[in-house]
Structure 1
Amino acid sequence: MVELGMETGTAPPAAAGHRAAADGVRPHGPVAPPPCDLVTVPARQGLEAVDILRRGGDAPGVGPVLHDGTCDTLGFLVPPGTADCWDVPGSACTRTPGRGLRLADVPSSAPPLPGSGWLLPPEDAAGAPLTDPAVLRAALGEAARLIEAADNCR
C-alpha cells in the first residue's frame, strides 16, 4: 500500500499494511507538515474513480494521486481531517502526524517516496490541489458499482 509516513486513522482490516513512520524520515530534505490526508484504495477501483472524477462536469475534479510500486493501490490526497470520519468500505484514510510530504517540495519526475510514484502529479491534477472527500466518496461508490456490474457480466 502507498505509505507516506502517516498515522493510520480508523480503517477497515484491508488497511493493516499502513503503519506510522516513527523515525520521521523525510524523503527530500526538510519538509513541512503535509497539508493532506491520504485515502488508499485497490488500484482497479481507484483507476475507475480517477476516470469518473476527471470527467466530473461541475465537480472540482481530482487532485494528486499516488500509486504504490506494484500498482496494487492508489492514494488520493485529501484535505487534513478527512481520516477522522472516513468510513468507506474497502478503503483506508491515513492522517498526517505533522511530518511527511509537502507537495511543493516533490518534483513530479521523482517518486515522492521509495516504492511509490505519481499517477497524477500535483501539476497535472486538473486544477484541484486536493480531492474533495465527498466527491471522492461518490466516485468510489460509482466505481465499485461499475466493477461489480462488469464482473457479473462474465
Structure 2
Amino acid sequence: MLHLGMATGSRTTATSATTVATTATTGTTAPAEGPGTPPAPEPCDLVTVPARQGLEAVDILRRGADQEAVGPVLHDGACATLGFLVPPGTAQAWDVPGSACTRTDGRGLRIPAEPPAPGSGWLLPPASDTPVTDPAVLRAALDQAARLIEAADNCR
C-alpha cells in the first residue's frame, strides 16, 4: 500500500524536492524552499486500490468521453497498489469496498513533480493542466472495473 507520510494526527510530511510539510504547532503548510521552486500545488487526498482494479479503472477513465477524467496516479514500488489523487475532503464520504482514501485536508500531500513516497512512481504523472480525479467519476470506474474483473475471473 502507498504510504505517503500522512497520519491522522497533526504532523504530516511527504518527502520530495517540491514537498510540503505541515507543522504540528501551527498547522500551516509551506512549500519546500529553494531556487526555482514552483508555486504550491493544490492539496489532495489519495484513494488507494489494488493494482489490477486500478489499472482497469484507468483504462475505463481514459477510454471515456472525457479522456482527461483521470488525474495523476501513483504506483507503489511493488506495483501492488495504485493511488488516485482526488480533491481534499473526499475521504470523509469514501466508502468503496476494497479501497482506502487517505485524508490530508490539504495539510500534507500536494501534487509534487516527483512521486511523494520513496519507492513509488507515477503511472500518470501530474501536468500543469491536469486536475485531480473527480471522486464520483472514479467511484463509477472502480465499480465497473470490479465487475469486469469478477466476470473475467468467473470465465475460467
Q: Normalised by the shorter chain, which TM-score bucket? A: 0.7 to 0.9
Residue from 84, 91, 94 that aligns with 1:83: 91
**Contact 1:37–1:77 (CA under 8 A) maintained in structure 2:** yes
Aligned residue runs from structure 1 range 2-151, under 5 A: 2-7=2-7, 22=11, 24=13, 26-28=15-17, 31=20, 32=29, 35-58=43-66, 61-96=69-104, 98-103=106-111, 106-107=112-113, 110-123=114-127, 128-151=130-153
Give the number of the structure whose alpha-carbon radius of gyration is greater. Answer: 2
Whether the aligned pair in 2 keeps the contact of 1:37 and 1:81 (CA below 8 Å) is yes
TM superposition shift of 1:81: 0.4
Number of residue-to-residue matches in the alignment: 137
Residue 21 to residue 28, structure 1, CA distance change in 2 (3 Å): farther
RCO higher in structure (CA 8 A, sep ≥6)? 1
Counterpart amino acid of residue 116 in structure 1: S
Which of the pair is proportionally richer in helix?
Answer: 1
Q: Which ranges in structure 2 are unaligned for 5 or more consecutive residues?
A: 21-28, 31-41
The answer (yes or no) to whether the contact 1:45–1:143 under 8 Å persists in 2 is yes
CA-based RMSD: 2.5
Unaligned runs of 5+ in 1: 9-19
- How far did residue 123 of structure 1 move? 2.0
Other structure's SS at 2:109 match: coil
Contact 1:26 1:101 in 2 (8 A): no
Whole-angstrom CA distance in 1 between matches of 2:87 and 2:57: 17
Bigger shift: residues 21-30 or 31-40? 21-30
TM value normalised by structure 2:
0.77
Deviation of residue 102 (structure 1)?
2.8
Give the TM-score, by structure 1 length.
Answer: 0.77
* Alpha-carbon distance in 2 for matches of 1:6, 1:96: 7
Report the residue type matching 1:82 in the other structure. Answer: T
Percent identity, please. 72
